[in-house]
Structure 1
């Protein structure tokens, strides 16, 4: 991991980070992350991605698997799975910096054909490995495009494709190959996941999701859980609770507005399920989280 890569990401993150330390770029799916202090637990159901850590350390848990990793290592998430993460090493003198690249199944599918790669079965959807030099170099070139905006329309897709190529060619390759296999179980479940993500506040119809995945309802349940580690209803519930927490933290929504906004019909039910997931009732959790943000600032 080169100093130049770190400095390039640092410059962008320092000048563009929001109050949560997220610096979104004009390139879809590319985000820089910065933290000045160790953080609170973060709950998410991530899209498939690779996160390249350049400074500091982080811990991510998925089910029974916990990963501690730091500078020079990459986190790969190859399916829409729930994770709990925490930045464990960061300071004002040595902030935490990482670069997150969302994986594009269409690009992966195209490259699999051109590279003549054999299909792979879906394995453990979260893993950590050393960042390969070719991936870091391609990511650095992509970040440098941000300093020359006129080049983005011409070169952006080329560099995104190059990052995917080196990921497929390297130690992450087998883990992400299933994302690009036409009509694989991973792709079919991804179609159902996309519906849940876009309509999480609406009642869930399993028959519609199974039809989108071209599976019977029983087969759909089996494969959905195998890939995401959750049932469809659990997946929707976690999405609702994560979004409600974001609304209260970032938009200042009160508990009732957040509950109804994500599809709950009962504030008491929302409060119970929120407490089970986040460890505290909504009002106490948000007060504690905002206090931690104020301290960090």
Structure 2
């Protein structure tokens, strides 16, 4: 796997493959603990190691374990890598339509006693590893990418859904119970983060009482609704500054802040650096790793 990823992604950072749902990640430098925002995805590290910190939990994903994220989720990420042994990984975006079709086809019973989870680290077994290997091999050829890769991606989804920890992921993806309501709320927040938002209105929109919404939201994301919204806005602001050259004032306005000074205070508290310092730091990371991904993706 490592050799195939190296061939597909010779440069630092992430490389978009010919298949929309698949990106290759490479880092020749270690990355300290930093806030990130992951989209729903499966991340398989073939070399090196990454750690995710969410609440009191630590998730390790490396050659032995892979990471599954069921909803858009902010957390803290750390990467172990070096020039001699770069971190190499493949990130598979979860296609919810394909997953829904698989769930219908599988007709596996919904286990009410299984608690859905937003994020989990799972042992990489031989069969799943073989599926990933064949996907990477197919991506070497434009013809095989077009003909074989979509089926291989579907096979990987299947392997994950029927794995030992698959029940928790199936519960998260099945439109039942509070998890589906919170997932809907997260989707709303992703599309409307620039707008003024009242938690009571959001709770009402997904059919929950305010008190129940607060409790369930914290259970899924390990943060309050307003903390999540703030995190989302700050990640998007950082992305605008680093990738599009926005000033801190322009980024704050674009992401829904009315006060640039409040934005700067919250930004520094969240990232540990002022907006200008963080932009300079990430530009340096991008210089070392030109395609390094930021908010909304994998760092």
Shorter-chain TM range is 0.7 to 0.9
Deviations 1:86-106 (A, max 9, x none): 112x22222110111123343
2:5 equivalent in structure 1: 9
2:295 equivalent in structure 1: none
**Among residues 58, 63, 67, which one is paired with 2:55 in the alignment?**
63
2:156 equivalent in structure 1: 163
Task: Name whichever of 24-33 and 209-218 sits farther off.
Answer: 209-218
Deviations 1:12-66 (A, max 9, x none): 1215x5xxx0112242332211001111333223233221110111221111112
Q: How many aligned positions are there?
A: 288
1:259 equivalent in structure 2: 252
2:40 equivalent in structure 1: 48
1:86 equivalent in structure 2: 78
Coordinate RMSD, CA, aligned: 2.4
Give how far 1:69 is off.
4.1
Task: Name whichever of 51-60 and 78-87 sits farther off.
Answer: 78-87
Q: Distance in 1 between matches of 2:16 and 2:227?
A: 29
Give how far 1:295 is off.
5.6
Q: Residue 10 of structure 2 aligns to a residue in which SS?
A: helix
Provide closer, same or farther for how the CA distance between residues 26 and 202 of structure 1 changes in structure 2, counting only shifts above 3 A.
farther
**Among residues 195, 200, 204, which one is paired with 2:193 in the alignment?**
200
Give how far 1:199 is off.
1.6
**Among residues 15, 22, 40, which one is paired with 1:23 in the alignment?**
15
Q: Residue 61 of structure 1 aligns to a residue in which SS?
A: strand
Provide closer, same or farther for how the CA distance between residues 59 and 84 of structure 1 changes in structure 2, counting only shifts above 3 A.
same
1:238 equivalent in structure 2: 231
Q: Distance in 2 between matches of 1:228 and 1:160?
A: 27
Within a 5 Å distance, the mapping from 1:1-297 to structure 2 comes to 5-14=1-10, 21-88=13-80, 90-120=81-111, 121-294=114-287
1:60–1:66 contact (8 Å) kept in structure 2: yes
Runs of 5+ unmatched residues, structure 2: 291-299
Runs of 5+ unmatched residues, structure 1: none
Deviations 1:147-166 (A, max 9, x none): 33344454443222211111
Structure-2-length-normalised TM-score? 0.86
Deviations 1:110-129 (A, max 9, x none): 33343332324334533323
2:54–2:222 contact (8 Å) kept in structure 1: no
Structure with more contact order per residue of length (Cα contacts < 8 Å, sep ≥ 6): 2
2:70–2:169 contact (8 Å) kept in structure 1: yes
Task: Name whichever of 52-61 and 212-221 sits farther off.
Answer: 212-221
Give how far 1:207 is off.
5.0
